[in-house]
Amino acid sequence: MTMTSWLESHRGETVIIKFGGNAMIDDELARAFCDDVVALGRAGIRAVITHGGGPQISSELIARGIRSEFRGGLRVTTSEAVHVVRDVLVRIGADLAAGLGAAGATASALAGDEHALFTAERAGTEVAGERVDLGQVGEITAVEPSAVLKVLDAGGIPVVSAIALGAGSELLNVNADAAAASLAVALDADWLILLTDIAGLYRDWPNRDSLVGEIDAAQLATLLPTLESGMIPKVAAALHAVQGGVGRAVIVDGRVPHVLLAEPFGASGTTITPAERVVS
Ligand SMILES: Nc1ncnc2c1ncn2[C@@H]1O[C@H](COP(=O)(O)OP(=O)(O)O)[C@@H](O)[C@H]1O
Ligand SMILES: CC(=O)N[C@@H](CCC(=O)OP(=O)(O)O)C(=O)O
């Protein structure tokens, strides 16, 4: 099947694409990403972009002399830091929407704390059996996707920043993979694509011969406790998505130009399927 006919067979499907990794810091890769998203839109695929910006947030915090550290793959976030997180994410969202605009789309940047898009509750985490207080970090408890749907229905591409509102309207920093997964579930998406800076999920990290091509949710759940660092929230997000009804989650290599147009949506990476296999 050619890519054109493959896309044609998926017309009308909803795809949430989490932009991240190297594609975010390399102008040429970012341009290729925007061109691909525009091509998906032209093929009648409903594409929604979500993004994080971990490295950019870290640089800005350092520049402002605010300490931050990661525990269990999540940033410990003070009340001072959370405003920096939001500022950086809003800037990235605006740049991405401008890039998509330059590539020929009508894109609208939406911050997750607006339009009641993401509601979250403060969440800690457990590291080596111990509870860790992460400060203003949240776990998404509700998604109100109407602002996203409005953009999609008008033929545009929503660009969603991963930040949420908690109790008393406090800003909560959320992991961008988790936010993308929650949005994918709320939109009953067919695909969740997570762009990263590695070829996919390795079963026996860092053994480069152990790349996983396809894995179902049950097998992935048994692998989750063995994972490290940034892969923990990413795999947990992929699992949440397919367990919540999303057709497939795919972890793909954002270092590869035009990876989104590699049939099907970057088959070179790791595809996560629901426990009960869906044949498409
Ligand atoms: N089992 C694994 N498979 C793949 N990558 C892993 C694994 N365990 C840890 N990693 C690390 O996780 C990184 C990806 O997570 P992260 O840097 O948070 O991605 P992103 O910035 O795209 O969200 C990889 O570059 C790799 O160094
Ligand atoms: C709670 C938490 O860790 N939030 C992340 C949000 C950004 C993000 O997830 O960006 P990437 O996808 O580029 O890693 C952070 O502060 O870095």
Pocket test for ligand 2, best of 175, 196, 234, 251 (most atoms within 8 A of CB): 175
pLDDT digits (tens, 9 = 90+) for 218-243: 999 999 988 887 788 899 999 999 99
Q: Is the CB of 240 under 6 A from ligand 2?
A: no
Any idea where the domains of the chain sit in the sequence? 3-273
pLDDT tens string 11-38: 999 999 999 877 788 999 999 999 999 9
Nearest atom in ligand 2 to the alpha carbon of residue 134 is 1
Distance CA 88, CA 62 (A): 13
| Count of all residues that appear for the chain in the document | 280
Residue nearest to atom 17 of ligand 1 (CA): 230
Homologous superfamily (CATH) of 3-273 is Acetylglutamate kinase-like (3.40.1160.10)
ipTM of the prediction: 0.96
Bridge partners of 252, per DSSP, are: 195
Indicate if ligand 1 lies below 6 Å from the C-beta of 107. Answer: no
pTM, two decimal places: 0.94
φ, ψ (nearest 5 deg) of residue 50: -120, 155
